[in-house]
Structure 1
Amino acid sequence: MSKVEIFEPAMCCSTGVCGPGVDPELLRIATFISELEGMGKKIVRYNLSSAPEAFVQNIKVNDALINVGMGALPITVVDDEIKKMGDYPANSDLATWAGMTREDIIEMIKKSQSSSGCEGCGGGNCC
C-alpha cells in the first residue's frame, strides 16, 4: 500500500460540519476515508491549523505553498509525490492509491449500498 497524505487548509474540523454550511466535498472525503480506514487502509490528513509542522517538513508541499499559494490546498501526496493540488482526489483515485483492487472497490460499493437501504430500489434514483 502506498503512503497517502492529504494536506488541507486551516479549518476547525475535518468534516466541514463545523460552520454555518456543510461543505459536501469535505463530507465526501471524510466519509470515504473513514470507509477506507474500516478496511484497514490508512490515509493521513494534515490540517494547516492543527499540524502546521507537517506542511513545513514536507519540502514539496512547502514549495507548492510558496510558489502557488494557499490555492494549492488541498494537496494530496502519494509516496512523497504530489498527485493532486487545489482539489480533493476522486474516490477512485484514493482507493487505488490506498492499494485497493477493483474487486475490493466493488465489494465496498456493495456493502455501502446494502447498508444505506439501496437494494431493491428498482434502478431508480434512490441511491
Structure 2
Amino acid sequence: MSKVEIFDPAMCCSTGVCGPSVDPDLTRVASAVYSLEQKGVDIKRFNLANEPAAFTDNETVNNVLQEKGADALPVILLDGEVVKIGEYPANEEFATWLEVKAEELTLKPRVRVSVNFD
C-alpha cells in the first residue's frame, strides 16, 4: 500500500479550528487523514512549527524548500515523490492515490464524554 506524507506550514494545529477563523480546507484534510488512519493507511503529517527536523531530514522536501521557500508548503509526498506543492489534495486525489472511495474520507473523530451528575 502507498504511503502519504503531508508537510504542513508552521501552524498551531492541523485541524483548522484554532485561531480567529476556521479553515475549512484544513478541517477537510484532518477528517480525510483521520479516516485514512482508521483504515490502516500509512499517512503522516508534519508541522513545520513542531517538527522542523522532519523537513530538513527529508531530502526531497528540503530541496523544495531550498528552491521555492516556505510558501511552497504544504508539500505532499506519495511514496517519497512530490505529488502536490502549495495546496492540499482534494479528497478525490487521496482516493485515487490510495485506492479508496472519496466518500470514505469524511469520518469525523468521535470523542466520548462522560458526565458525572453527582
TM-score (norm 2): 0.82
Give the match's secondary structure for 1:13: coil
Query: Structure 1 runs of 4+ off > 3 angstroms?
Result: none
> 1:59, 1:88 → 2: CA distance?
20
Partner of 2:64: 64
1:5-55 per-residue CA deviation (whole Å, 9 max, x = no partner) reads 000000111101110100111001001111112222231000001111010
C-alpha distance 72-51 of structure 1, shift in aligned 2 (>3 A): same
User: What fraction of aligned residue pairs are identical, expressed as a percent?
Assistant: 51
The one-letter amino acid of 1:19's match is G
The one-letter amino acid of 2:80's match is D
Q: How many residues align?
A: 107
The one-letter amino acid of 1:59's match is E
Query: Which ranges in structure 2 are unaligned for 5 or more consecutive residues?
Result: 108-118
> 2:40, 2:59 → 1: CA distance?
28
Partner of 2:18: 18
Query: Which ranges in structure 1 are unaligned for 5 or more consecutive residues?
Result: 113-127
> 1:106, 1:74 → 2: CA distance?
21
Deviation at 1:95, TM superposition (A): 2.2
Deviation at 1:56, TM superposition (A): 0.3
Partner of 2:54: 54
